[in-house]
Copies of this chain bind each other. A is one copy, B any other.
Amino acid sequence: MITAGIIGATGYAGVELFRLLLAHESVKKIAVSSVSFEGQSIDDLYPSLYSLKALHNGQGMAEKCGGLLEDAQTVVEKSDIVFTALPHGLAEQYAEICVKTGKKLIDLSADFRFDQDEAIFAQWYKKNWERPGVHAEAAYGLPELYREKIRAARIVGNPGCYVTSAILALLPALKHGMVDTNTVIVDSKSGVTGAGRNNAMTYNFCECGESISVYAVGSHRHQPEIKHHCDIAAGKDCGIVFTPHLLPMSRGIITDVYAPLSEQFMAKAAGEGILEKIRVCYADFYRDEPFVRVLREGKMPATRNVRYSNYCDIQVFAVLGNKMLQVVSVLDNMVKGAAGQAVQNMNLLASFPETQGLEMIPPAF
Give chain A's interface residues, CB within 8 Å of chain B: 12, 15-16, 19, 22-23, 46-58, 183, 185, 187, 189, 191-193, 197-201, 203-215, 217-218, 239, 241, 243, 245, 247-252, 254, 256, 258, 260, 289-291, 293, 295-296, 299-311, 313, 315, 317-321, 324, 326, 328, 330, 334, 353, 355, 358-365
List 22 contacting pairs A-B, 8 Å CB cutoff, sorted by A: A15-B364, A16-B364, A47-B305, A48-B306, A50-B296, A50-B313, A53-B290, A53-B293, A54-B290, A54-B355, A57-B353, A183-B320, A185-B185, A192-B205, A192-B206, A199-B201, A209-B250, A210-B249, A214-B300, A214-B302, A214-B328, A247-B247
A319–B216 Cα distance when bound, in Å, is: 12
CA distance A53 to B363 in the complex (A): 15
Chain A binding surface, main DSSP class: loop
Nearest B residue to A247, CB-CB:
B212
CB nearest to A61 among chain B residues: B361
How distant is A341 from chain B, measured CB to nearest CB, in Å? 13
Q: Are the CB atoms of B187 and A197 closer together than 8 Å?
A: no
Q: Which residues of B contact A330 (CB under 8 A)?
A: 212
- CA distance in complex: A256, B212 (Å): 12
The winner among A299, A305, A355, A361 for most chain B CB atoms within 10 A is A361
Contact of B302 with A211 in the complex, beta carbons under 8 Å: yes
Question: Which 9 A/B pairs are nearest by Cβ-Cβ distance?
Answer: A213-B302, A211-B304, A48-B362, A206-B365, A48-B305, A192-B205, A54-B355, A187-B187, A210-B249
When distances are taken between beta carbons in the complex, the residues of chain B under 8 Å from A326 are 217-218, 241, 243
Q: Which of A204, A251, A295, A321: most chain B Cβ within 10 A?
A: A204
Q: Which residue of B lies closest to A301 (CB)?
A: B214
Name, among A58, A215, A353, the residue most crowded by chain B CB atoms within 10 Å (CB to CB). Answer: A58
A293→B50 CA distance, assembly (Å)? 8
Partner of A304, one of B48, B241, B361: B48
Copies in the complex: 4
Question: Which B residues lie within 8 Å of A200 (CB)?
Answer: 199
- CB-nearest residue of chain B to A197: B201
Residues of B within 8 A of A362 (CB): 48-49
Inside 8 A of A310's CB, which chain B residues have their CB?
54
Answer whether A57 and B305 are a contact pair too, CB < 8 Å, given A19-B361, A187-B187, A218-B319. no
Q: How far is the CA of A360 from the CA of B309 in the complex (A)?
A: 13
On whether A361 and B52 interact (CB within 8 A), knowing A57-B355, A212-B252, the answer reads yes
| Contact status of A12 and B256, CB under 8 A, knowing A212-B247, A217-B300, A250-B206 | no
**A205, B213: Cα distance in complex, Å:** 15
Q: Are A258 and B185 in contact (CB under 8 A)?
A: yes
Given A204-B199, A211-B302, A212-B189, check contact A365 B12 (CB 8 Å): yes
A199: chain B residues within 8 A (beta carbon): 199-201, 204
Residue of B nearest to A49 (CB): B361
Instruction: Tell me whether A317 and B218 are in contact (CB under 8 A).
Output: yes
Point out the residues of chain B lying under 8 angstroms from A245, CB to CB. 189, 254, 256
Compute how far the CA of A212 lies from the CA of B215 in the bound complex, rounded to whole angstroms.
Answer: 18
Across-interface contacts of A52 in B (CB, < 8 A):
361
Chain B residues within an 8 Å CB radius of A206: 12, 192-193, 203, 250, 365
